[in-house]
């Protein structure tokens, strides 16, 4: 089961990869700094990433709105009361080191 997918900085030039919906265990999704383009929304896709904590879509060529329904499905991102959220979650689960 794939929990982390980092495709950042790979010079990919493609529409948004809607096949990602099949990765239901995904916790971290990084697509930053590629050439992805087009809308992120598709009426047939609901992106139920219930375990997603981190998503980075920055520095691409997407357009349109990110549907609010996506955020309702991404409950792990929105859980402010969880002890498994934010920087602490990254450190505990993936050994991320934060340097200042």
The per-residue pLDDT for 67 is 75
Structural domain tally of the chain?
1
- Which tens digit of pLDDT belongs to each residue from 32-76? 999 999 998 777 777 778 888 888 999 999 998 877 777 777 777
Half-sphere exposure of 42 (CA within 13 A, CB side): 13
Containing structural domain, residue 43: 4-94
**Cα angle value 74/77/82 (rounded, 5°):** 120
User: What is the average pLDDT across 73-80?
Assistant: 69
More confidently predicted of 15 and 70: 15
**Contact assessment for residue 96 and residue 90, using Cβ atoms and an 8 Å cutoff:** yes
Residue 9 lies in a domain: yes
State the pTM of this model. 0.75
CATH number at residue 47: 3.80.10.10
Quick one: what percent of the chain has pLDDT higher than 90? 37
């Amino acid at each position: 089961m794939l929990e982390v997918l980092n495709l950042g900085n790979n010079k990919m030039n493609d529409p948004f990869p809607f096949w990602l919906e099949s990765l239901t265990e995904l916790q971290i999704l990084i697509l930053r700094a590629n050439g992805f383009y087009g809308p992120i929304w598709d009426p047939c896709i609901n992106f139920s990433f219930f375990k997603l904590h981190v998503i980075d879509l920055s520095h691409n060529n997407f357009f349109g709105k990110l549907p609010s329904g996506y955020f309702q499905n991404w409950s792990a991102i929105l859980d402010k009361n969880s002890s498994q959220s934010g920087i602490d979650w990254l450190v505990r689960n993936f050994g991320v080191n934060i340097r200042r």
